[in-house]
Amino acid sequence: MKKVGYFNGEIGPLEEMKIPMTARSVYFGDGVYDAAMIANGVCFDLEDHLDRFYNSLRLLDIRNFDPDREQLKNELLRTAAQAEGDVLLLYWQADRGSWPRQHRYPPEDVKANLLITVTPKKLADIRLPIRLITVEDTRYLHCNVKTLNLIPNIMANQKAAEAGCDEAVFHRGNAVTEGSYSNVSILSGGKLITHPADELILPGISRKHLLELARGLGVECQEREFTLDEMFGADEVFITGSTTLVRRADTIDGRSVGGRDKELFVTLQGAYMDRVRQMTGLDIPYR
Ligand code: PDD
């Protein structure tokens, strides 16, 4: 199958799958998700994605999700095994179950719904720079939870697309937080600077790898707030994400940015791609 769907144990072609109208995800977006890249049949860092997923469930107090980690892993891999393609997006979400609409949780014996999709993913040419726009971050204060509620992200991303750009960078006042679907970092004076993994951003798994690799290479890393001015004046601005990988920007709001420390950027991007290659065999050009 090209695109595979899964709902509570049942697998089929994605276009033919159906979910109940009373699912809490339909009424309230009352659920959490995670998404990872599969290349050559291997999921890049599934364990970290599972950690984050179970943490999101805990933070949203979704107590009725039954599968334990091994069972969930089996369901994810069993579904992914049905899909065709060298590079796939593995997406899964759990909501608080199906029950007639009411704000309080459904009764305790109602089980959470598990939905999985596996779809082919065309990776971008990561040698090409991207264009960004800035958007005021109007999200709530639980951005570390990967909830299904992504309205500000969607609206910001649409705004970027309409401006002919690839991604929107959120900022709260003067402080840059993250992108609509990625984390944002800068290089400045040979240092890597990125927002701390607090409740204002999603703790990205690619961000985590990049920080680890940068520190291993002796690059000073600062997990701290940085300002819009710092970003516009940075040597490099780049975004990270599971299927975005690592990409530098050359314009923000139509102004030229970065391009002043390509060597360090490519070193870090290369270190990340080496790790992806070691884990999955994925080999795409970055230089
Ligand atoms: N997006 N920040 C936000 C708001 C995100 O939605 C994502 C991931 C990231 C990067 O996280 P990671 O490195 O773990 O992929 C940061 C996923 C891919 C999505 O929503 O499709």
- The CATH code of the domain that includes 102 is 3.30.470.10
What is the structure's pLDDT at 31?
Answer: 98
- The answer to the question of residue 284 being in a domain is no
Same domain, 44 and 85: yes
What is the structure's pLDDT at 287?
Answer: 82
- The response to whether residue 5 sits with its C-beta less than 6 Å from ligand 1 reads no
Active site residue 208: no
Q: Which of 76, 70, 62, 66 is nearest to 5 (CA)?
A: 76
What is the structure's pLDDT at 30?
Answer: 98
Same domain, 180 and 273: yes
- The response to whether residue 205 sits with its C-beta less than 6 Å from ligand 1 reads yes
Same domain, 147 and 265: yes
Q: Residue type at 142?
A: H
- The response to whether residue 204 sits with its C-beta less than 6 Å from ligand 1 reads yes
The total of structural domains in the chain comes to 2
For residue range 117-166, list pLDDT tens digits in order: 999 999 999 999 999 999 999 999 999 999 999 999 999 999 999 999 99
Q: How far is the CA of 227 from the centre of ligand 1 (A)?
A: 21
Q: How far is the CA of 35 from the centre of ligand 1 (A)?
A: 8
Same domain, 41 and 85: yes
Please give the number of the atom of ligand 1 that sits closest to the Cα of 242: 15
120, 147, 170: which is the final residue of a domain?
120
What is the structure's pLDDT at 147?
Answer: 98
Rounded to two decimals, the pTM is 0.97
Domain that holds residue 229: 130-279
Low-confidence ranges of the chain (pLDDT < 70): none
